[in-house]
Amino acid sequence: KEALKPPAEREPADRFPNEQAKQRYEARERGDLIEIGIAPKNADGTADYRNYISLEFSYDAAESEILLAFESKLNRKLTDDEAKEINERRQGGLKSREWVTSPNRKWDNGGVSPYEGCYYNCDLTFDLVPDYL
């Protein structure tokens, strides 16, 4: 029945499956957490996306702490390539955090495009120029 109602009358659907997911999302948006994920490599060196691992850490977590967490999740030592990839993902997570927490990001265009030109043929002819010019 809810789907048959007009959009303005529908009950707003919560975008989070549970309260914990909502709290984790809000912590990432505040910059308290960064998310790091990797796809372990198969024997032939290709990424095994079926066993993708994603963990969340405090933004100031030590590199060694992050590597140990992935080692315990994989139940083995990380290869040099995996450790390098995790460090790159950590740097990316910190850059993302920097962008998310930037006060300048909060100021958007307010629905207005930053483009100041014309979107159509804007030839200025003499009849369009005011007389005082």
**Dihedral sign of CA atoms 107, 108, 110, 114 in order:** positive
Q: 17 and 25 in contact (C-beta within 8 Å)?
A: no
Task: Give the type of residue at 31.
Answer: G
In a domain, 121, yes or no: no
In a domain, 85, yes or no: yes
The count of structural domains within the chain is 1
> What is the average per-residue pLDDT within 97-112?
73
| Cβ atoms < 10 Å from Cβ of 70 | 20
CA gap 133, 124 in Å, rounded: 13
pLDDT tens by residue, 61-74 = 999 999 999 999 99
In a domain, 130, yes or no: no
In a domain, 118, yes or no: no
Structural tokens at position 56? 């969340």
In a domain, 92, yes or no: yes
In whole angstroms, what separates CA 120 from the centre of its chain?
35
CA gap 74, 76 in Å, rounded: 5
In a domain, 8, yes or no: yes
3-state secondary structure of 111: coil
Write down the pTM of the prediction: 0.67
In a domain, 115, yes or no: no
Give residue 43's domain range. 2-102
> How far apart, in Å, are the Cα atoms of 126 and each of 117, 119, 120, 132?
19, 21, 18, 12
pLDDT tens by residue, 15-61 = 788 889 889 999 998 999 999 999 988 889 888 899 999 999 999 99
In a domain, 82, yes or no: yes
